[in-house]
Structure 1
């Protein structure tokens, strides 16, 4: 094996023993971390899944088997919760699938709030699980937007997670994105994504990229998990993960795996099936409104910070890829 050509990301993980893989943008982002989850588990590491959740915690707290909060904005989701069929709850349906595979079934859900409650949730998780490494997963690439681009995509949840984990001490911290090209649906120019990657490379914080291919066992398990959970939540099947799976299969261009995307034009492409990896601290330092986000408590606070920043900054002209 050509160890000298191994992406630096894997070298950076050497010495890690207890890893937290967390979806940073909410929704189905945690699913984008499943190939890494299974790969690291196969190497003998203890790996736990978490996700910034779009589920109403107040609704969960009234269920018959309510999970015990580990912090005010953190719950442990397990397969024995009682959830109505078809209900939007990706973390629960993933937990059930993991349990059926004989995997540890806990998926930790972090309430969708501002930086301070999110930081408290991560502190509680790191202490509870004795975590030494945190990998934030972005389904897409808009987590790399620094704040003055022509369009930021959907920055709120990504920015909160990024700022919160950047405040953790004593743990390794990384960002890995999967789904290059998907955020064009939200107006992101991938010229800016590659610009950010080049800037991070100059700073020594770009840790390489690698592709997912169909014959890899972690990829096969990722596919099985997605398809099973989508079958349990047919109205909410993830556009991001369906697009990534299509790219892994070699589909290209305006290919639609879900009726949810009918009427729009997609660009499924091989780069969607590629992880792009970075040192988290350097990504956080690029975020121009990071300091203003730190005291936020609610998502309304976060929105006000982003709107104020966009009103003060000189927005750069939009560029498109010259290829």
Structure 2
């Protein structure tokens, strides 16, 4: 089975657990294939944690969940040096924290103070953690998926701009259509019945499907590295990001709305996500539709809007939509 067949199988398995959120599943897979970190935002009960767990469950990977709370300490995330005594001798050993896993769920990340959020920065960008002067490398397959609630702001700490920029994409989860919600009710009821039958006396556990191996992800990344990106498409991605820095050149509306533009990480993210999107759709080249499909996730957390835009209720997605209309296609 090819790497693409295995990734498609992974997508189908996730779709069996997450009803009505196909775009969210695709964004999680793009983050995995592009070797990036994701910020997943949505109202309570919209399956943010369930989606991430579904990815980890069906992939041959170590999964770790960190529940971010106001009393969390940096050492609770990264690990710490512990004094051990053996045969009368004392020595410090590093006890790894929950950050040392293949897929890390940072649940409700904005509930911890900035010093705890900062403990993630080195791991997210350099794929390593430094404690007591010693650097500890992460596994080759490593990604952080953080969740946050957009409406409950009491007792929360806004994410620093430096950390926001380290997220490859900002994924929004919205309410599912009513038809899909009917299927969700049936799915949860079925899972509850299956759990009761499995735990009952005289029953045998259903054999789990074999997890998708990590090598499928690495092979997919190698194939994505060979996706063709024309010079015109590279210029198109650069123009889109440049328009956020000099919005006055692209219309008065954008000038009124954008205060701070995106960094070069945005251009890199457009390239990575665009190639991953093209690969998932079975093409060996990137076209403008690939960029338009993922640009909102790449830019919505990297734009600084003016007070005027915020006062008028202009969302980052509305700004990005106007941006794509003003920047010429290649």
What is the TM-score normalised by the length of structure 2? 0.32
Greater helix share, structure number: 2
Give the TM-score, by structure 1 length. Answer: 0.32
